[in-house]
A = this chain, B = another copy of it.
Amino acid sequence: MRPNPFQLKHQDPSGARRGQLNLSRGTLQTPAFMPVGTAAAVKALTPEQVEGTGAELILANTYHLALQPGHELIRKMGGLHSFMAWKRPILTDSGGFQVFSLPKKQVDEGGVTFEFQKGGTPMKLSPETSMEIQESLGSDIAMVFDECLPFPCPYDQAAKSIDRTYRWEARCQSAHQREDQHLFGIVQGSVYEDLRVRSAEQIMSLDFDGYAIGGVSVGEGLDLLKKVVNWTAPILPRDRARYLMGVGLPEDILESVERGIDMFDCVIPTRYARGGTLFTSRGRIRIEHRRYRRDQYPIDHTCDCSTCRTFSRGYLRHLFQAKEILGQVLCSIHNLRFYQRLMARIREAIEQDRFAETKRQILEELSAHAPSAR
């Protein structure tokens, strides 16, 4: 038996939880945000730069790594940490979300069969192969392989699906071997309260090291996110980590923390950064806007990231105009640091029993108008 890695340290009157995850490669303060390093790299950044933003845990994608360079290769290279030179903890997803997004696939009780390249040999991802791949990668936290539903999804299909997800997660539990890797279950159930509850009960009966809520990441909106978390989080075991997969915008994170979520991952900060959309304490800005042409101020004067300490908005705008990669690098650093500072602020507020107030404050800041040039 692996010990439960989660330790609940404090709960705020609002319901927000302050905890920590004790993993062999490092201790993680929660609520926590994980940058996404899909292909064994947080896009555009060196591990040192990612560490510099304060990230204590990153996510890597099983599906992408299994296809390229291949999990066997990564295992032979000493595992994912060694391969990508990231010393802190890594969480791997199961690959389920990606294979269910493929246009051409065949799903049966065994798993999902799909073509990697047009005309290539069909590949199969199943509960057992997902466990095998994640064990080869050697992540600190592995995720179970679940059935991911389209959105929207009819009730009958969702009802059938959670039973299969239950059977698949039980198979993951049986197949999983590594004692040095935690395994998290995933609750599904689409937008139906009774299915979410039934799925949570089924999955909890398998006794995982932590619990994730799946199926709310893909732009279904904040109202639905709140509903699903409201139905699910309260019935999850109080003493286990709760992870809301693929979420989200700062607003989504605030609402979810209030409902008792501990962990988040999302491509938004890095993807937005590469496109020139930056988070600031006075709302989002589009750095390519003409108003920043001669702007000598940093992206956010309250930010302590290496980009804000060194470069002006005017320079960053120029880098985007000139299509210089460096613009994407510097803006990725800023957005990731913004997210880590957001989480630090959330954690501090919870410790001081004033999360609700801090949440209000932050929401106000987020909806502020973008700062003007001068």
Chain B residue nearest to A85 in the complex (CB): B310
- Decide if B325 touches A73 in the complex (CB within 8 Å): no
Give CA–CA (A78, B295) in the complex, Å. Answer: 12
Q: Given the known A-B contacts A73-B314, A314-B77, are A326 and B85 also in contact in the complex, defined by CB atoms under 8 Å?
A: no
- Decide if A314 touches B83 in the complex (CB within 8 Å): yes
Q: How large is the interface on A (under 10, 10 to 19, 20 to 34, 35 or more residues)?
A: 35 or more
Chain B residue nearest to A322 in the complex (CB): B39
0/1 string, A308-342, CB within 8 A of B gives 1 = 00111011011101101110111000000000000
- Decide if A322 touches B68 in the complex (CB within 8 Å): yes
Least CB distance, A291 to chain B, in whole angstroms: 14
Q: Does A157 contact B (CB under 8 A)?
A: no
Q: Does A41 contact B (CB under 8 A)?
A: yes
When the two chains form the complex, which single residue of B68, B315, B329 contacts A321, counting CB atoms closer than 8 Å? B68
Least CB distance, A157 to chain B, in whole angstroms: 34
User: What chain B residues lie within 8 Å of A322 (beta carbons)?
Assistant: 39-41, 64, 68
Q: Does A43 contact B (CB under 8 A)?
A: yes
Copies of this chain, tallied across the complex: 2
0/1 string, A64-99, CB within 8 A of B gives 1 = 100011000100111000011100000000000000
0/1 string, A279-321, CB within 8 A of B gives 1 = 0000000000000011010000000001000111011011101
Residue positions of A touching B, CB distance < 8 A: 39-41, 43-48, 64, 68-69, 73, 76-78, 83-85, 293-294, 296, 306, 310-312, 314-315, 317-319, 321-322, 324-326, 328-330
User: What are 19 A-B contacts with C-beta separation under 8 Å?
Assistant: A39-B319, A39-B322, A40-B315, A41-B319, A41-B326, A44-B325, A64-B322, A69-B317, A73-B294, A73-B314, A77-B296, A77-B312, A77-B314, A77-B315, A83-B312, A83-B314, A85-B311, A85-B315, A329-B329
